[in-house]
Amino acid sequence: MANNRQTRRPGLCPPICFAAEARPKVGRNGVFLLAMLAIMDPILNQVSTAYGLVVGPLSLLQAMRGAALIAALGMAVTLPRNRGHVRRVVCHITILIGAGVAVIAINDVILNGLEVSNIIAYVQIAYWLTIWYVGVATITDARSAMTVATGLVTGAMITAASVYYGYISGSALNAIYSGVGVEASSGWFVSGKGIAGSLVAGALLAAYLGYRRHPWVSIVFALFCLGASFLTYARSGLMAMCAALIWLSMWSAATGFSARSSWALRLVLASLCGAVIVVALVGTADLAIRWADLDDPQKAGSGRLLLWTAAAGSFLNGSAAHQLFGRGFQGMLDMVYASLGVIMHTHNDLLDMLVIGGVLGLIVLGLIFAGIVVQIRSAPAASPEFAVAVAILLVLGCQAFFTGQLFLPDVMSFYLLAITAVLAYAREAEPGQLAVLRGLTMPVQTSFAHDRFVRKIAVRSGFSGSQLVEEQGGGWDRGNRI
């Protein structure tokens, strides 16, 4: 430290000026919790489903998520106030969403009584909403983003491995699909409809994380996840995959196929080659059977058109109170049973929230997507982070419209944390951090040792490489971004 004082150049702020930027312990604990949940949830989810393990009146998975929710809530109330404008806005939006869901839940209790199964539905939303809040508040720099993103990719790889094992061994084939002659695997998850989307998001995240240092290894990981998503034969997941790849192709073309977009083009081309290999290995017969019902309006989309028609009719024919505040979760199940003789949700988040919460439910859904858009807009449109975040949003949108995701806490948490993590690399610079960084940078003839020092400090302060290049007048090689 004494040597640093002697050799420090004039104009450089002492390292002590960054003490205020050190991550609070509760923030570090939050990042660790999020990363561990991403890994442990797919494991405990399948163990709980396969063996039926219970903890008192709850399943093992419910008990784990309940404990995680309590821990996350404790962290949420003790986290320091967010300094970043974007993070502060998104955290406020999550609070508004929570208030709206609470009103809908109270209305459900008034209309349908206190049913434990209904309360669990709202707790599932509270789970991923709290995880989102903690993620936005604690994933604030490259290190925390990498920690959480690595946990997410690890969880996706675990999920994919179980899908492949179930498919190859035949021990975890989907019973419903097997009844119509389709061999599809969802591992030991209850359904493949949720994991099909999170696997695509995991593939996008893997391709992004490794494109700087290990581009082809990251592509292999991405293809591993995409192939598993295909083998679930969830049609919403397949559409989400296509939408994400089409977007990445368009974004790459818009950037002039620059070096920064090479990873996206590589992923698209590798996915096309992978599709050829999958078709050669497993054929197209099962895929054709899955899409064969589109010719019959009564069966199209496994009866989704009937579900959507019933849901829209229940809103239009409902009372003013039902239209404003909804029928509640139990009211939605009762409506579908009365209309179609089955107990299920509408398989569409828009219609789910319309029936459950009425106009208030639509506002809640709009706030969810508004919060995500606010996060995405903080990144430059030409940045890889922007491209990945939009691709994951498209996956969420497809899954939300064609199958519904709001009551799948693990899947929603995956999407929201993935978007939050990648955007932590490209978020807007904080005014206070920028002032400190300006004190450290030397626009003219900086030494290599000094550049390394500034780069290290910038990472601790949460700067992206593009922001630092701009601050230093483009003095760094753009291939060596942070």
Question: pLDDT, tens digit, for every residue of 88-126?
Answer: 999 999 999 999 999 999 999 999 888 888 889 999 999
The predicted-structure confidence for 55-79, as pLDDT tens digits, reads as follows 888 889 999 999 999 999 999 988 8
Element (H, E) at 256: none
Q: What SS3 state is found at 294?
A: helix
Spatial CB neighbours of 71, under 8 Å, sequence gap ≥ 6: 33
With cut-offs at 50, 70 and 90, classify the pLDDT of residue 28.
confident
Q: How far apart are CA 368 and CA 370, in angstroms?
A: 5
Residue 424 CB neighbours (<10 A)? 28
Give residue-wise pLDDT tens across range 431-459: 333 333 333 333 333 344 444 444 554 44
Q: Which of 426, 427, 413, 423 is nearest to 389 (CA)?
A: 423
pLDDT digits (tens, 9 = 90+) for 315-370: 999 999 999 999 999 999 999 999 888 889 999 999 999 999 999 999 999 999 99
Q: Which helix (H) or strand (E) holds 57?
A: none
Do residues 215 and 222 lie in contact, with contact meaning Cβ atoms separated by under 8 Å? Answer: no
Cβ contact 30:134 at 8 Å? yes
pLDDT of residue 467 exceeding 70? no
Task: Please tell me the predicted confidence (pLDDT) of residue 437.
Answer: 35
Q: Position 327: which residue type? A: R
Structure-token match 């398989």, residue found: 347
Residue 417 or 471, more confident:
417
Could you give the percent of the chain with pLDDT greater than 90? 62
- Does residue 432 contact residue 461 with C-beta atoms inside 8 Å? no
At 407 the pLDDT is 94
Q: In this predicted structure, what is the pLDDT of residue 26?
A: 63
Tokens found for residue 240 = 């989400």
pLDDT tens readout for residues 167-211: 999 988 888 888 888 899 999 999 898 999 999 999 999 999 888
Residue 389 has which token pair? 């975040």
User: Within its chain, how far is the Cα of 242 from the centroid?
Assistant: 17
Are residues 264 and 387 in contact, defined by beta-carbon separation less than 8 angstroms? yes
**Span of 285-294, 377-386, 467-476 with lowest mean pLDDT:** 467-476
Give the Cα separation of 205 and 35 in Å (integer).
14
3-state class of 42 per DSSP? helix
Cβ-based neighbours of 216, under 8 Å, separated by 6 or more: none
Amino acid identity at 63: A
Percent of the chain exceeding pLDDT 70 equals 81
| Arithmetic mean of pLDDT, 249-261 | 92
SS3 73: helix
Distance, in Å, from the CA atom of 214 to the CA atom of 212, rounded to the nearest integer, reads 6
At 23 the pLDDT is 57
Q: Tell whether the model's pLDDT for residue 240 goes beyond 80.
A: yes
Is 9 exposed, middle or buried (CB count within 10 Å of its CB: 0-12, 13-18, 19+)?
A: exposed
Average pLDDT (392-412) is 96
Helices (H), 23-59: 25-51
- pTM for the whole thing? 0.84
Burial class (CB in 10 A: 0-12, 13-18, 19+), 22: exposed
The predicted pLDDT at position 25 comes to 63
Per the prediction, the chain carries an average pLDDT of 84
Tokens of 281: 């290995």
- Comparing 5-14, 192-201, 409-418, the range with the smallest average pLDDT is 5-14
For the chain, which residues make up each domain, given as ranges?
A: 82-294+343-423, 438-480
Q: Concatenated DSSP letters for 429-460?
A: PPHHHHHHHHHH--SSS--HHHHHHHHHHHHH
User: Which of 17-31, 180-194, 226-240 has the weakest average pLDDT?
Assistant: 17-31
The whole-angstrom separation of Cα 221 and Cα 205 is 10
